[in-house]
Amino acid sequence: MKPWKVSRPGRNYRSEIHLSKKIAELDVILRNLEQNCDLIDTALVSDKGRMMCSSLPEGSEEKAVAAMAAAILSIGSRVGMELGVGVLKSTLIDGNKKSVVLKDIGGILLVGIAPPESEIGLVDYEVNKAAEKVQALFRL
Partner 1 sequence: MSVNKADKLEGILKKMISKSHEAITSCVVTTERGLIVAGVVTDQSSSEILSAMVSLMSDTAARVCGNLGYGNPKTALVQTMNTTIAMAEFPVMDRRFRMGAVLNESKKFSIFGGRLVVEKRVPVERIEGMFNEVTRSIRETLEGK
Binding residues vs partner 1 (CB under 8 A): 35-38, 118-122, 124-126, 129
Residue with Cβ nearer partner 1 (32 or 46): 32
Residue with Cβ nearer partner 1 (3 or 121): 121
Burial class (CB in 10 A: 0-12, 13-18, 19+), 16: middle
Residue with Cβ nearer partner 1 (15 or 35): 35
The least distance separating partner 1 from the CB of residue 94, rounded to whole angstroms, comes to 12
φ, ψ of residue 18 in degrees (nearest 5): -60, -45
| Dist. CA 87–CA 107, nearest whole Å | 12
DSSP structure class, residue 101: E
* C-beta atoms surrounding 37 within 10 Å: 22
The least distance separating partner 1 from the CB of residue 72, rounded to whole angstroms, comes to 20
The least distance separating partner 1 from the CB of residue 22, rounded to whole angstroms, comes to 22
